[in-house]
């Protein structure tokens, strides 16, 4: 596929058109499948899951809602620390709310990329907020956007 003859862009206007394009691409179009464990899962089992699924971040759930995130860095710290990781629940080492950075379904690939770079993280859960009868706000995990997802978008654009 080649650009149509007769089109001409200054670098500036092409970039702004490209900018609009990725600001209009929804996270819902490109999200990947998250790997989820429950809070009671041990650190050891979570590490095994991380290798089997070849993922950098695992999301943790409590009663069906997002409660934490663990990364490869968290796992390195805890394995260095001589802990009994076969009995240590992943909930002991995970990052919890309000420190979890996430995106909602109405956000764009650009919004996700900005959050990943700004917060220096590898992935964001895509969540749907649910307000329960007791007015508490909970987050259902519906996907994942990572640096891998963004890199795949770049490959997809280049393949056209």
* Residues of the shown chain interacting with a second copy in the complex, contacts defined by CB under 8 A: 1-4, 7, 9, 12-23, 47, 50-51, 54, 56, 72-73, 75-76, 79-80, 109-110, 113-114, 116-117, 120, 122, 146-148, 150-155, 157-160
65: CB partners within 8 A, 6+ apart: 130, 138, 139, 140, 141
Identity of the residue, 23 or 129, whose beta carbon is nearer to a second copy in the bound complex: 23
Long-range Cβ contacts of 152-157 (<8 Å, 24+ apart): 152/30, 153/22, 153/25, 153/30, 153/109
Question: How near is the Cβ of 152 to a second copy at its closest, in Å?
Answer: 6
Rounded to whole angstroms, how far apart are CA atoms 51 and 31? Answer: 21
Question: How near is the Cβ of 25 to a second copy at its closest, in Å?
Answer: 10
Question: How near is the Cβ of 77 to a second copy at its closest, in Å?
Answer: 8
Identity of the residue, 14 or 130, whose beta carbon is nearer to a second copy in the bound complex: 14
CA distances for 69 relative to 87, 101, 126, 133, 160, angstroms? 19, 10, 13, 26, 35
Identity of the residue, 26 or 62, whose beta carbon is nearer to a second copy in the bound complex: 26
Question: How near is the Cβ of 55 to a second copy at its closest, in Å?
Answer: 11
Identity of the residue, 126 or 150, whose beta carbon is nearer to a second copy in the bound complex: 150
Q: Bridge partners of 145? A: 124
């Amino acid at each position: 596929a080649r650009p149509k003859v007769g089109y001409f862009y200054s670098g500036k206007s092409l970039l702004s058109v490209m900018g609009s394009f990725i600001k209009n691409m929804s996270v819902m179009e490109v999200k990947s499948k998250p790997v989820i464990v429950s809070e009671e899962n041990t650190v050891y089992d979570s590490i095994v899951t991380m290798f089997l699924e070849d993922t950098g971040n695992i999301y943790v759930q409590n009663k069906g809602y997002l409660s934490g995130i663990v990364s490869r860095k968290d796992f390195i710290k805890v394995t260095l620390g001589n802990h009994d990781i076969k009995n240590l629940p992943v909930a002991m080492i995970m990052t919890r709310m309000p420190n979890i950075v996430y995106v909602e379904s109405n956000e764009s690939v650009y919004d996700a990329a900005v959050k990943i770079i700004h917060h220096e993280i590898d992935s964001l859960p895509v969540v749907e907020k649910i307000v329960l009868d007791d007015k508490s706000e909970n987050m259902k995990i519906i996907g994942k956007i990572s640096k891998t997802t963004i890199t795949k978008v770049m490959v997809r654009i280049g393949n056209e």
